[in-house]
């Protein structure tokens, strides 16, 4: 069962990445201060999975967002805005009864004690997503299916949907999962954040922050996180200002479906050595990892960034990593592209921005370790023409 679709273009089998999750209209403050003191707000959009889709589409990939919004003006705004980035929204469903979620936030960093967010998402259209009302033919049509732990926290039906999508099934695409632990979403629910560990273990690629692993699961340190997540082919542990540590097995993404040889993005080619499982049935992540041998551990330092607003960086990092994965780049370059995409968002006020041009990002990602360590990026850096223009020391 599914409702009427929104949008125009249909998500075809040539889609690179399909992202599933709730997107909301966000109201951004006109000035710093408590929500009680802010006189007015500007309207934007926010949603971890739709942010990833928008960033990938802006980078030239074929991205689709699947979600559920209300049959209201806010739902119209979400679908139209996300589609304006080049994202396929044809599989978005409209709920005739439940509203589109909205939220207000302050201008401060989410990690500070002064940060405030007021969500109005209880009973939203997205919280009604379930295995019975989402279009599986669209969800499973891409080379990668990107999910987030936020969706699992919205309702019991949403959790059932993520359990179903992460289960082994014939023709399953590579499943990417960003843990995205949001403590307030788990308060008072039937499940708790430990379910995020269960879901992550069923996926092929996992993004998780050291801080959220400790908060959600009581697990401390990158090595311990990998030990708790032995099944995924790749685990990306985000370590804040220290950078990221990637644990990759010998069978890295053997299930990544090959894309068309030609693409306007130049990035739809399959990873070297990748084999398609679309015709033979995808095995579970655990089976793929069985006997895979020791991990390769890759540590990539973070960039120094003159931060304007610390929101949306995790989604942008995931988009940059996935973009480089689709292009078959080495693991170090995948992480560096994640850092660069995150830096683009960190140097603007909102959750979304245009990424650097591909050749620009490639030049920066190819810097030697010393030059990478000297790199410092500030507002407007994505418009620079040559990498040396961003390389400076304090």
End-to-end CA distance of the chain: 58
Rounded Cα gap, residues 224 and 213, in angstroms: 10
Of 138, 178, 315, 351, which one is the catalytic site residue? 315
How far is Cα 114 from Cα 107, in angstroms, rounded to an integer? Answer: 9
Q: Using CB atoms within 10 A of its CB, is residue 42 exposed (0-12), middle (13-18) or buried (19+)?
A: exposed
Cross-strand partners of 175: 145
Other CB atoms within a 10 A radius of the CB of residue 204 amount to 28
Our CA angle for 239, 218, 176, nearest 5°, is: 55
Helix axes 73-84, 48-58, angle to 10 degrees: 30
Which residues contact residue 235 at a Cβ distance below 8 angstroms, ignoring those fewer than 6 apart?
205, 206, 208, 225, 226, 229, 246, 247
Copy the structure tokens of residue 106.
């302050």
Q: Is 315 a catalytic residue?
A: yes
Q: Which two tokens stand for residue 394?
A: 């304090």
Beta-carbon count within 10 A of 203 CB: 27
Element (H, E) at 237: strand 234-238
Residues labelled catalytic: 315
């Amino acid at each position: 069962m599914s409702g009427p679709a929104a949008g125009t273009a249909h998500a075809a089998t040539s889609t690179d990445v399909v992202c599933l999750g709730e997107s909301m209209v966000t109201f951004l403050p006109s000035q710093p201060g408590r929500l009680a003191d802010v006189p007015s707000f500007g309207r934007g959009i926010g949603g971890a999975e739709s942010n990833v889709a928008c960033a990938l589409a802006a980078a030239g990939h074929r991205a689709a967002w699947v979600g559920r919004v209300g049959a209201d003006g806010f739902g119209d705004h979400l679908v139209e805005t996300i589609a304006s980035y080049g994202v396929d929204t044809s599989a978005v469903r409209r709920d005739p009864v439940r509203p589109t979620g909205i939220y207000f936030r302050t201008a401060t960093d989410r990690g500070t004690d002064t940060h405030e967010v007021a969500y109005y998402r209880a009973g939203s259209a997205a919280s009604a997503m379930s295995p019975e009302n989402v279009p599986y033919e669209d969800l499973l049509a891409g080379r990668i299916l990107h999910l987030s732990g936020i969706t699992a926290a919205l309702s019991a039906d949403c959790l059932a949907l993520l359990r179903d999508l992460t289960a082994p099934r014939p023709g399953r695409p590579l499943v990417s999962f960003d843990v995205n632990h949001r403590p307030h979403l788990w308060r008072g629910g039937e499940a708790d954040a430990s379910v995020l560990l269960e879901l992550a273990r069923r996926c092929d690629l996992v993004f998780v922050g050291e801080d959220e692993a400790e908060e959600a699961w009581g697990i401390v340190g990158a090595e311990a996180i990998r030990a708790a997540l032995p099944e995924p082919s790749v685990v990306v542990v985000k370590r804040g200002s220290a950078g990221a540590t990637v644990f990759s097995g010998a069978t890295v993404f053997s299930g990544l479906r090959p894309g068309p040889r030609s693409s306007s993005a130049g990035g739809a080619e399959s990873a070297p050595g990748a084999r398609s499982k679309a015709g033979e049935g995808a095995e579970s992540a655990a089976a793929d990892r069985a006997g895979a041998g020791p991990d390769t551990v890759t540590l990539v330092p973070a960039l120094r960034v003159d931060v304007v607003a610390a929101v949306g960086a995790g989604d942008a990092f995931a988009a940059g990593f996935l973009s480089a994965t689709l292009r078959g780049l080495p693991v170090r370059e995948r992480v560096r592209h994640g850092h660069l995409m995150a830096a683009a968002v960190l140097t603007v006020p909102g959750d979304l921005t245009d990424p650097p041009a591909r050749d620009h990002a490639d030049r920066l990602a190819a810097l030697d370790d010393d030059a990478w360590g000297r790199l410092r990026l500030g507002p407007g850096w994505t418009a620079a023409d040559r990498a040396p223009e961003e390389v400076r020391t304090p």
